Structure 1
Amino acid sequence: MLLLVLAVFWGLLYAYRAHRRRKGPASFLPAPSSSLTSASPLLFASRSTRITLHNLHLSAQLSSFNDIHISASARLRRSRWKALVTLAYDAGSIVGALGMVGSLVLLVWASIQLAMSLYDKSYAIPPPHTPALHKRDALPEVALPSSSHQAPLTLIIPGVTTPLSDLPVLLVSLLTTQIIHELGHAVAAALESVSLSSVGLGLTVLLPSAFVAFPSGEVDSLPPRPRLRIISAGAFHNLLFWLALVIFSWARLSSALWPVLGYSDVSLYGRVVVSVDESSPLYGHLPRGAVIYKVGDDTLDTGRRAAERWEALLTHRPSPAEHDPPLGWCAEEAWFAAHNASCCTPSHPPIPTQACFAPTSDPAFERCVDPLLFLHSASDAAAPRHRCMTAVDCGHAQLCVRPRSDQELLALTLHIPPWLRGDVDRTGEGDAERTLVWQGDSIEILREVSVGDWLPRSHMLPIGLPLLFSQFFTYLQTLTLSLYFFNLLPLPFLDGGQLLDALHSWWSAPSPSRTLTAESVPLSDLEGADGDGDEFRIGQRPQVDAHAHGKTDLRGAVHVCAGVLLGICVVLGLANAYLDR
C-alpha cells in the first residue's frame, strides 16, 4: 500500500511537470538539441518561492525568511550578549571537532561489534541448556540467552526494526531534528553577519529534509574561527537539544503534565489498551481504553512498572524444569466426562472455541472444553469454580483439570473504565471486569496490541495521545543524537567533511586570511540547496606550501576511511536486522 501511494504521488508530480513544460511559452527559433532532451526541474516559481523536482527529489526554497535573518543579525551585533553567544559557539566548534573524532571511533567500534554479532548469529554453536528452577514470583527475571556481542547500532528500518505504523512519527521526528540542525547554522551565520540566501524543505522518495543556503563566497571568505562556528553549529544544536530531552526525561516532567490534561497513571498496576491491529483475533473483543491488570494468574502490580511485568509474562516460555505447574480448575467428573475429545486428536482441525483439557491425575483422560466456562462459571452450575493444584484440593467426585501441555491458552483480565462501559453495554458485556481468553502464541499479543501508561478520565480525551507523544519523544532522542554523530563524519557531503577541511586549511595556512582550496564543497552545496547563478561559486585555488600535498593526501585518506567504515556498518547492520527478523 505504501509503495502504491508513493508511486501515485511521484507520478502525479512528474505528470504535472511535463504538463507545465508543454504549457510553457513557445519558441519560434530552433531550440538547441540539449534543451530538447533535458527537462527543466522547475515546478513552481514566484518572487520568494522556488519548487524544483529532479531525480525523485522535491525541493522547496524560500527567501521570505531572509529579512528576518537580517534583522536577527543586526540585533545580535548590538546585543550585550554577543560575546557570550560567540564563546558558546566557539565551544560548539571544539565539541564538533571532538564529535568528529568520536564518530570515527564509534564507527570502528560498531563495525567490530556488528561483525562479532553477525558471526555469533550465523556460525556460533548455542550453549547447551542447563535446567534451572524458577519460582513464579521471579518470572520477570527469566530471559532468553543472548549473544555475547550485542550490536551497538540498530538501523531504523520501518517494518523491519521498527513497526511500520511508526513511520509517520519517525518522519516527523527526523524532520524536526533536521530543522533544529539547520537553525544552528542560521543562528551562527547571523552572529557572523553572513546573509541568508534561502531556507527550504526537501523530500527524497520518502525521507524529508531541511536546509539553509548561504552565498558561498561569504562563508568561504570568513576567518577560520567564524567558519568553524558556522559549520559546527548544526551538530552543536543537535547535542544541546538532546541534552534538553535527557533532562526532560530525567525530571519526569511528563508525569506532571498528563494528570493536568486529564489522564491517570496506571503504570504501577496495569496497561491501557491503546489500539488493536485490525487483523488480530482480539480486534473487536479487546476494547480501546480498557486496563489490563492481570495476565493468566499473575497480576501486574508487583511493585515495579507494569510495562516490564507485561512484557516478561508474554515472552516467558515455561520449561519442563519448572517445579511450580500452573493452577487448574476443580470440575465435576460427570460434567467433564460428558464432553467429547474430538479436538484433542492430532488429525482434527483446531476449534477456536474449544481447547483440550486433562485431569492432573489421569493425563490420558482428555476432553474438549470451552475455556470461557472455566472463567465465566456462573452460566453453568456444574462448570469449574475453584482453582487447584491436584485433586486433593477439590471435593468428592471432582477432578483437577488443566489445559494440556501443548495448549497455548492465556487469560487477560480487564477493567473497563466508567466512561467506556456505555459503549460496551451495547454488546451485552457492560461489567466493570471482563476476561478474555487468548489461544495461540502470547508474543503475538505484543505485536498486535499497543498499550500505554495513561488512562483518560473522559471519552472526550484521545486514548493514544500519551503513547504518541512517548513515541515521538523517543524517536527525537534517538535521531537527534544519531544526527549529531552522523553529520560529523568526515565525509565531503556532511558537516564533518567541511569541518575537517576548515581545520586542515587553518592548520596548513601560514596566515589566517588563507581560504579553502578549490576541492572544498561550499556550505550551501553541503546543505542540499538547489543552486543557480553566482550563489554557488567555488573559491579560487590558493597558493600552498611544500607540505600541502601531504596534508591534502591525509585529508583524502580520512574521507575514504570514513566512507568505507560507514559502508561496512550499513551492510553489517542490514545483515543483523535480516537475521533478527
Structure 2
Amino acid sequence: MAVASLVFVTLVFWALVRVMGLILARFYPQKFKELTDPVAPGSPALLPTSSSHGSARKRFHHLSIGHWSLSFSTNALNSALYKLVPDTPPWRAFHRLFYSAGAVFGLLSLFGSMAFLAANGISLLVVFAKLASPSADITAVQTLSPQDLEFRSNSSSSYSTRTYFAQSMAGGSNGFVSLIPGVNIHVSSLGYYVLALLVCGVVHELGHALAAIVERVPIESVGVFLYVIYPGAFVDLHQASLETKGPSQKLRVICAGVWHNVVLGLWVWLVLTTLPLWLSWGYKLSNSGVVVLDVTRDSPLRGHVPPAAMISQVNGRDASTVQDWEQLLYENLVDDTSIHQGYCVTASREDKGTLECCDVSEAHPFGRRPSSLQCFQELDATKTLMSPMQACLLAHNITENHPRCRSRSDCDMASGPMQCMSVYVPQPYVRLIRLSIRDRESTATLNPSSKDTSRTVTFLGDPREIWEGVRIGSLVPRARWLPICIPYMVEELLQFIMSFTFALAVFNMVPSHMLDGQHALVVIVDVIMDWIHGHVSGESLDVSGKSHVSFGRVDARKRSTVKWISNAATVLLSVTMLRSVLGAFGI
C-alpha cells in the first residue's frame, strides 16, 4: 500500500509538471522559449582576481523539463559565492589549508571505499561458494535470540524511539543499508528524505564551488535538479581553467565536496548530541517519565495510550529516559517473571468445559473467540495430583486490586477460600505489562508536585508489540501551547542528513564512472605514471602539472589504467548496491 501510494503521488506530480510546462508554453511562449533554450557557455577569464567575475557575464536562467527530470541552472548566484571567499592573504591561506585537509581525506576515502567494496565482493563470493558446495545446507535458517528479534537498541536516536529512520537502519548488512521510500522508509518520512538529500547535495556542490574560487577556477553556473523523487544540486566549472592547475590544486577542488559533507556530518552530530540545549527555549528533558509521540494504527494500545501522555512506570519500575524504557521492555521480554506472577483470588473448581476463555493453545494464546476475560490458572497446582484450577477473570482488575503471591500459603484465608493464580497463556513471549499513564491534561503544567492522576493500562502480549507500536520521547514542551512534535521532527531530519552526508563522503569517492572518485583517480594516475616515466626514461618531470591533460586526451596507457580501475569499481559498487537494495526488500 505504501509503495502504491508513493507511485501514485509521483505520477500525479510529474503529470502536473508537464501540464504546467504546456500552459507556460501556450500563454508565455517567448519567455518560456528564453528560459528553456540551451545556453551557450561563456568564455570568462581563466584566472579571475576578484569577485566581480560572477557579474561580468550577462545573467541567465535555464530550465529543463524532461519526462522524469526537472533542472534549473543560473549564474545569478556567482557573485554571492565569490563574496563567501574573501580575497585576502589570511583567508586565502586558511582556505588552502582547509581544502588541503579535504584532499587528504578524499584520498583516504577513495582507498578506503575501494577496500570496503573489495571486502564486500569477496564476502559475497564466499557466500556463493558455500551455497554451491554439495554439503551446503541451504534450508538451514539462522535462529535469533529473543533480544535480537526486532529488538535492537536505537543508539542513533537519543531522544525518541522507533523513528522511521531508525527502523529502516535496523538489520543492515555490512554497515550499508539502502533507504528506499515506500519500502523501508515510510511515505510519511518522504519529506525528511527529500529535504535531507537536497541539503547534502547543496553542501557538497558548495564545497566544489568555494574550492574552485580559492584556486581561481571560474564558476559557469550553479543549479538544482529533481530526478523522479531524488533531488540534487550541481555546479559547472570552467574546465579549461581547471586543466591548467597542478595535481594538488585539482585534488583540492575535486575532494572539496566530500570534505564539506564530512564537516556537515560532524556539525549535525554535535547538534544531535546537544539537542536539548538548542531547544531549551521551549523544551526540556522530562524527569518524570517518557512522553508518547505516536501509536501505530495496528497497535493493541491504540486508544488506550493517547499521544502526549506520559508513561512514568513499567511494571512498577521508573521509566525516566528513552534508555530506561527500552531496557525495561527488553528485560520483560527475556524474563518471564511477569507472566508467572501470582495473585490471590477467590475461586472454586468449575467444569472446565464452561471456561471458554481457557480454550487456548500456542496458535490461539488468547482463546478462539474475542473475550474481555483472561484465563487464570492455579500457580502451585503441580504440588497436587489434581488438575490445575482455572478461572476466567478480568486481568486488569486482578492485577490492580488483588495482592500478589508465590503460593497459596501467601494468601489471607480470613475472607474465604483463596487460590494463588497467574495468567495462563501457552505462548513463550507473552508477558503481562502494566504501564502507569498520565494523560496530557494532568501533565500540562509538568509540575512533579501537582496532584497525581495517573492510571494503569494492562497489556498482555509480546513486549515487542509495545516497542514497535508506541513511539516515545524524552523532550517535553515547557508550555502547553507548544507542539510536542517539533523536537522529534528536528531529530529525524538531522538523522537523515547525518546518514546521507556521511554516505556521500565515502561512496562519492569510489573511482566509479561519473563520481568524484573517478576524477581524483585521473589525477593520481597522471602523477604516478608521469613519475614512473620520468624515472625510467631519465626525463625531468614537470611538477607544476601544467603539462597534464584532461581525461579525454591522456595517453593510451593512462586511459587504459583509469578505464580498468573505474570499470572494476563500478562493478563492485553495483554489486554492493544490488545487495543492499535486495536486503531492503527483505530478499
TM-score higher than 0.5 here? Answer: yes
TM-score normalized by the length of structure 1: 0.75
Counterpart position of 1:328: 342
Cα distance, 1:4 vs structure 2: 1.5
Q: Are 1:190 and 2:213 an aligned pair?
A: yes
Counterpart position of 2:419: 399
The amino acid across from 2:205 in the alignment is E
**What SS is found at the alignment partner of 2:178?**
coil
**What SS is found at the alignment partner of 1:490?**
coil
User: CA separation of 1:172/1:5 partners in 2, compared to 1, >3 Å: closer, same or farther?
Assistant: same
Counterpart position of 2:249: 226
Instruction: Check conservation: 1:111, 1:569, Cα contact below 8 A.
Output: yes
Please, which runs of 5 or more residues in structure 1 have no aligned partner?
27-38, 132-147, 378-384, 424-429, 520-540
Cα distance, 1:437 vs structure 2: 2.6
Counterpart position of 1:273: 292
* Percent of aligned pairs sharing the same letter: 24
- Hey, what's the Cα distance between the residues in 1 that align with 2:551 and 2:177? 37
User: For residues 42-441 of structure 1, what are the structure 2 equivalents within 5 Å?
Assistant: 42=36, 48-73=60-85, 75-76=86-87, 78-113=88-123, 123=138, 125=140, 151-248=174-271, 252-266=273-287, 270-296=289-315, 299-300=318-319, 305-313=323-331, 316-317=333-334, 326-333=340-347, 341-346=355-360, 349-362=368-381, 364-377=388-401, 385-396=402-413, 397-406=417-426, 408=430, 410-416=432-438, 419-420=441-442, 432-441=453-462
The amino acid across from 2:307 in the alignment is R
Q: Deviations over 1:69-127 (max 9, x none)?
A: 24445x32x34221232122123222211211111011122334566689799938468
Counterpart position of 1:482: 503
Cα distance, 1:309 vs structure 2: 0.7
**What SS is found at the alignment partner of 1:81?**
helix
Counterpart position of 1:469: 490
- Hey, what's the Cα distance between the residues in 2 that align with 1:553 and 1:173? 38
**What SS is found at the alignment partner of 1:305?**
helix
Cα distance, 1:441 vs structure 2: 3.4
- Hey, what's the Cα distance between the residues in 2 that align with 1:162 and 1:179? 22
The amino acid across from 1:290 in the alignment is A
User: CA separation of 1:183/1:412 partners in 2, compared to 1, >3 Å: closer, same or farther?
Assistant: farther
- Hey, what's the Cα distance between the residues in 2 that align with 1:202 and 1:495? 18
Counterpart position of 2:10: 6
The amino acid across from 1:105 in the alignment is A
- Hey, what's the Cα distance between the residues in 1 that align with 2:198 and 2:420? 59
- Hey, what's the Cα distance between the residues in 2 that align with 1:272 and 1:393? 37
- Hey, what's the Cα distance between the residues in 2 that align with 1:517 and 1:465? 50
The more displaced of 441-450 and 556-565 is 441-450
TM-score normalized by the length of structure 2: 0.75
Cα distance, 1:260 vs structure 2: 4.3
Cα distance, 1:558 vs structure 2: 0.7
User: CA separation of 1:393/1:44 partners in 2, compared to 1, >3 Å: closer, same or farther?
Assistant: farther
Instruction: Check conservation: 1:293, 1:299, Cα contact below 8 A.
Output: yes
The amino acid across from 2:491 in the alignment is S
Cα distance, 1:304 vs structure 2: 9.5
2:550 to 512, 517, 541: 517
The amino acid across from 1:444 in the alignment is E
**What SS is found at the alignment partner of 2:219?**
coil
The more displaced of 413-422 and 180-189 is 413-422
User: CA separation of 1:156/1:113 partners in 2, compared to 1, >3 Å: closer, same or farther?
Assistant: farther
**What SS is found at the alignment partner of 1:100?**
helix
Cα distance, 1:367 vs structure 2: 2.7
- Hey, what's the Cα distance between the residues in 1 that align with 2:338 and 2:458? 22
- Hey, what's the Cα distance between the residues in 1 that align with 2:59 and 2:100? 36
User: CA separation of 1:149/1:58 partners in 2, compared to 1, >3 Å: closer, same or farther?
Assistant: closer
Cα distance, 1:292 vs structure 2: 2.0
User: CA separation of 1:334/1:124 partners in 2, compared to 1, >3 Å: closer, same or farther?
Assistant: closer
The amino acid across from 2:550 in the alignment is T
The amino acid across from 1:94 in the alignment is V
The more displaced of 120-129 and 510-519 is 120-129
User: CA separation of 1:273/1:130 partners in 2, compared to 1, >3 Å: closer, same or farther?
Assistant: closer
The amino acid across from 1:328 in the alignment is G
- Hey, what's the Cα distance between the residues in 1 that align with 2:142 and 2:81? 62
**What SS is found at the alignment partner of 2:175?**
coil
**What SS is found at the alignment partner of 2:519?**
helix
- Hey, what's the Cα distance between the residues in 1 that align with 2:282 and 2:29? 57
Cα distance, 1:447 vs structure 2: 2.3
**What SS is found at the alignment partner of 1:235?**
helix
Instruction: Check conservation: 1:110, 1:153, Cα contact below 8 A.
Output: no
User: CA separation of 1:246/1:8 partners in 2, compared to 1, >3 Å: closer, same or farther?
Assistant: closer
Cα distance, 1:482 vs structure 2: 0.8
The amino acid across from 1:123 in the alignment is I
Cα distance, 1:52 vs structure 2: 1.6
Cα distance, 1:187 vs structure 2: 1.0
